[in-house]
Amino acid sequence: MREEMNRLDWSFTDTFLRPRIKGNVLLDMNPMSKANILASLTVSAFILFDIVYAFILSGVMVLLAACAGRLRSFVSVYWKIVVFFASLLFLVRAAFTNGSEVLFQLGGIHVTPEGIHLGLISAGLVMAFSGAFILFIKTTEMEELVWVLEQKGMSHTFSYIVLSAFQTIIDLGKSAQTIMDSQKCRGIETEGGMMTRAKAFIPILGPLVLGAISNAEEKTIAMDARAFSSPTKHTSLMLLKEPPLAEKLVVWTFDLALLALIAWRIYTWIG
């Protein structure tokens, strides 16, 4: 028996004993370090309230997504934010903000230099904030974030709720796509205008909801089998490496720069 055990390939089990490494600096960065840096950059944009800085920061988010190898998935979500929210906010601000000079007027719409400036800075801030949030989501696995939060003392029950909420959204999206594909194979029109898509989507809500309920029941049984409610310390099959000194120094640098920026802004306001 001992000889048979020695002949077994333990490479699969060894993968759970070593920290998870993806081979990319941004992807391997500790989730809390990543959140700290992105939050510092976002807050700095709101403190400076500068058009050029906000748009440059938005470009930096795109560049970081490319460096992380997540450019396609990042842009697929980011462009919708830019088109719908940032553009709409710019138009509203530019058209309805009072100013010293009216450049264009049509009914209640009056475009002023102050309105254009406020619209541009508002759009830039939305793009910077959205870019940082989407970049964090696209470069961070939720199970890694939850694992780090548990190591810092968060309840495993709350961490499961957070992880399950994100996973449920992903599962529902995949289930909806599977059902839509099966409907398409039966000859049902699922592509076209808004009404055509709505008619094709409404019938899948029933199977989608029933499938979600069934999955919730299966997860409950699996949690009971793994003694999820046990008061003892929980173990995990995942391990992340400790943040290296260089990563900590980068985080401290961004934090100190943000504190210095806040102090400078307060000083200028008082002055």
How confident is the model over 2-42, as pLDDT tens digits? 555 555 555 666 666 677 778 888 888 999 999 999 999 99
Q: Could you give the angle at which helices 31-48 and 142-151 cross, rounded to 10 degrees?
A: 100
**What is the sign, positive or negative, of the torsion defined by CA atoms of 60, 61, 65, 71?**
negative
pTM: 0.78
Q: Among the residues of the chain, which ranges form H helices? A: 2-7, 11-14, 25-28, 31-48, 51-67, 71-80, 87-96, 113-139, 142-151, 156-185, 194-201, 205-225, 245-270
SS3 per-residue string spanning 60-114: HHHHHHHHCCCHHHHHHHHHHHHHHHHHHHHHHHHHHCCCCCCCEEECCEEECHH
pLDDT tens readout for residues 242-269: 888 999 999 999 999 999 999 999 988 8
Helix axes 51-67, 31-48, angle to 10 degrees: 160
Q: Is 213 helix (H, G, I), strand (E, B) or coil?
A: helix
- Per-residue pLDDT reduced to its tens digit, 148-181: 888 877 777 777 777 777 777 777 777 777 777 7
